[in-house]
Structure 1
Amino acid sequence: MNMMAQMGEPPEMKRFTGQQRAAALMLALGREHGAPIWEQLSVDEIKELSATIAGLGRIPAVVVEYLLVHFSGEVASMASLHGSYESTERLLSGILPGERVKDIMEDIRGPSGRTMWDKLSNVSETVLAQGLRHEYPQTVAVILSKLRSEHAARVLSELPSEFAVDVIMRMLRMETVQKEVILEIEQTLRTEFMANLSRSNKRDPHEAMADMFNALDRSTEEKMLAALDERVPESAIRIRALMFTFEDLGNLLPAAIGVVVRNADKREMALALKGAPEEMKKLFFSTMTERAAKLLREDMAGMGPVRARDCEEAQSSLVRLAKTLADAGEITLVDPKSDDTMIV
């Protein structure tokens, strides 16, 4: 018997949790010797163990040897192993069917390392509510219980009132959900809802063009739209309707303007407001403290004459900032008179 087995646990083992030790052992056993063990695990256990393997990094040889000694006897000289997404996928590929490996790797790594529930949390509440309103209330209750509470709340607010109350009642009475139920719901979400979402989310080219026009300087934008007016007037109308301009900021709720103000570069904001209508200036100033508004006015006055082009570029930057904040869910780009307005 190797002296290591007699000496007890090496000090390097202290930094490995029980789950990490199991993951390192399975990596060390490889395809042939590990296959019988993997076959006895549930899908959830495989995902959990696979995710741990993928994050192991380098494992000292002394740790590998210790684990194998205690599992099946002595191991001769062995170099270190390296746990990574690639080595995990190679290991699983020799044990499980291709589709199972694909599903498991998608869940532990995904397009950006997210699980199905993380991906679902990034679907807008309106789209998600549209997709869920035809499901059974119990299914919706399980799904919402897996989402972040703030996102689940927004989805609830988008559901029909009676249906939402039914879902809430079921969430209140919900006990531990069986793994099989969760797996079935995950599979449904993956094969139906997310697939339909990706097909329905193909972007209208007019939206992409509106974003591009938002980034143009004012004179170029007007020339291009004038040319489209002559050649494809219907497209020009659609692009104008989809564009969000600096003037549109004036239609936002003061709370939304306040978020923009807090996130904006102060000099750029001063330059943007320098060329803005007086009403727009008042709106921005109203969201600031008296001292902050005074300092901004002083900055604007201290600039002296500025080129209109520079003001327009600064205004375009504020528009891009507002759209970025809207994409992050921090503000809503709607007219306060609209029924869809949300207080932020």
Structure 2
Amino acid sequence: MATARNVTSMNGAEKAAVFMLALGEEQCAKLFEMMHEDEIKEISFAMTQLGNVSAETVEKLCSDFSSSLGSTGMLIGSYDSTERLLMKSLSRERASQIMEEIRGPAGRTMWDKLGNVNEAVLANYLKNEYPQTVAVVLSKVRSDHAARVLGLLPDGFAMEVIMRMLRMESVQRDVLDSVEKTLRSEFMSNLARSTRRDSHELVADIFNNLDRQVEGRFMSALEERSRDTAERVKSLMFTFDDLGRLPPEAIGKLMRVVEKSKLPTALKGASELIRNLFLSTLSERAGKLLRDEIASLGPIRLRDVDEAQGAIVALAKELAQSGEIEISDSKDEQMVL
């Protein structure tokens, strides 16, 4: 029997098991719903090994728990504080791996995390794996996400995966654990490292969302401090003028989803090159109507132009992220009309 004298020798799972048993079945079930499968197994196993637990032991555990909370004061949870704690109890390599997983796509389980990975990124990784492995992975993520990933795989490979999924029965636990371990160590850790944003890219994104006059002021100040840094930030910025690098079919897709009330305002302040590029995707009649609408606007505030152009640029980035259009990395590529 566990007694008050050996409470200090109990591990975390055993203490958690005592607490949950003391709370009763209803509260215990609610807590289990919020736990990972591995945590449930560990605590459940501890419960089966407890035997009789005296009231004195339960009281001592509750008292210790209450005292530790009362003496803690204000708590601050952050990436840094969590990493420091992990470094004290785990190897540096294991602690770094855990932190990379935390910083990666959101989700409690590995399969939740995969469901938040961009389908193009996931498909690019899976196309180099065995069809059976891909079948297991796609059977564990949401159906809509699996469908998008499958559509991006090479046709022959995708059909092989589909056939494996059709023949697949229940996946053995050791196979699932092996696939999950590989994904965690090879894919998710690399993904977490690759998704850490470059500081210049971050500043470029912020500058993209500034009012044009404010952006110009900050860029001039940055050039005074470091011309090289300013040039690098400029090269990473995507502006309304950069839409001139898009092919007509991409502009056509953009035109179909853009808010029609913003287009005349955006083109009113655009260069002739950009304006003609947008107009070239329209029929002669629709193009004339848009030109007339632009002309009828009269004088317009620069702030309104910036807002309209910014909304269209943001939409172009969304289409690029979803794979519907492609934005060239080169600033030198221009469309010739």
TM-score range, shorter chain: 0.5 to 0.7
CA contact (8 A) 1:210 1:240 kept: yes
Alpha-carbon separation, structure 1, partners of 2:267 and 2:39: 63
Shift of 1:290: 5.0
Counterpart of 1:303 in structure 2 is: 297
Counterpart of 2:321 in structure 1 is: 327
Counterpart of 2:308 in structure 1 is: 314
Shift of 1:192: 3.9
Alpha-carbon separation, structure 1, partners of 2:258 and 2:238: 17
Counterpart of 2:151 in structure 1 is: 153
Residue 96 of structure 1 aligns with an amino acid whose one-letter code is K
Shift of 1:213: 0.8
CA contact (8 A) 1:273 1:281 kept: yes
Matches within 5 A, 1:112-191: 116-117=110-111, 119-124=113-118, 127-128=121-122, 131-132=125-126, 135-136=129-130, 138-140=132-134, 142-143=136-137, 148-154=146-152, 156=153, 169=160, 171-172=162-163, 175-180=167-172, 181-191=175-185
Cα distance change on mapping 1:224 and 1:97 into 2, 3 Å = same
CA RMSD of aligned residues (A): 4.3
Paired-residue identity, %:
46
CA contact (8 A) 1:274 1:300 kept: yes
Residue 320 of structure 1 aligns with an amino acid whose one-letter code is A
Counterpart of 1:206 in structure 2 is: 200
Counterpart of 1:97 in structure 2 is: 42
Counterpart of 2:33 in structure 1 is: 88
The structure with higher relative contact order (CA 8 Å, sep 6+) is 2
Shift of 1:113: 6.7
CA contact (8 A) 2:105 2:117 kept: no
Residue 205 of structure 2 aligns with an amino acid whose one-letter code is D
Counterpart of 2:217 in structure 1 is: 223
Shift of 1:273: 0.2
Shift of 1:177: 4.9
1:281 lines up with 2:279 in the alignment: no
Shift of 1:141: 5.2
Residue 88 of structure 1 aligns with an amino acid whose one-letter code is E
CA contact (8 A) 2:32 2:40 kept: no
Flag structure 2 segments of 5+ consecutive residues without an equivalent: 1-19, 46-103
Task: Provide the TM-score with structure 1 as the length reference.
Answer: 0.57
Residue 302 of structure 1 aligns with an amino acid whose one-letter code is S
Q: 203-212 or 136-145, which moves further after superposition?
A: 136-145
Q: Residue by residue, what CA displacement relative to the aligned partner does 1:275-313 show, whole Å, maximum 9, x if unpaired?
A: 112232222123345554344333212211223343233
Cα distance change on mapping 1:299 and 1:234 into 2, 3 Å = same
Counterpart of 2:231 in structure 1 is: 237
Flag structure 1 segments of 5+ consecutive residues without an equivalent: 1-29, 36-80, 101-109, 158-163, 340-344
1:283 is paired with a residue whose SS is helix
